[in-house]
Amino acid sequence: MHEADQQALTCTVIRELTLNPYALWLHYVSVGGNFDLQPVIRYIAGSGALPCRERDRISCAVNDLTLEPRWRPRAPYSYADPF
């Protein structure tokens, strides 16, 4: 998946589910994320970029925080088909 597509889709999920950026960052760090809060906030605001591995960790954190109910939208991973 292209970087910009992954970011846009992930940001959409975060906005739709009104995830708290700080709580998301804490979970991102707990799954192995290596960036400080500000770069992550810029990424989820759509104004900053992250390396592929870090984008996937953000997606993992988003998906972990939205496990239930199953119909909720999920954040894509970099290796996913775009559509």
pTM equals 0.81
Q: How confident is the model at residue 68 (pLDDT cuts 50, 70, 90)?
A: low
Distances (CA, A) of 83 to 3, 65, 79, 80: 14, 23, 12, 8
26 neighbors 11 (Cβ within 8 angstroms): no
Q: Which two tokens stand for residue 24?
A: 């998301």
Report how far residue 55's alpha carbon sits from residue 77's, in angstroms, rounded to the nearest whole number.
Answer: 8
State pLDDT tens for residues 12-40.
Answer: 999 988 999 999 999 999 999 999 999 99
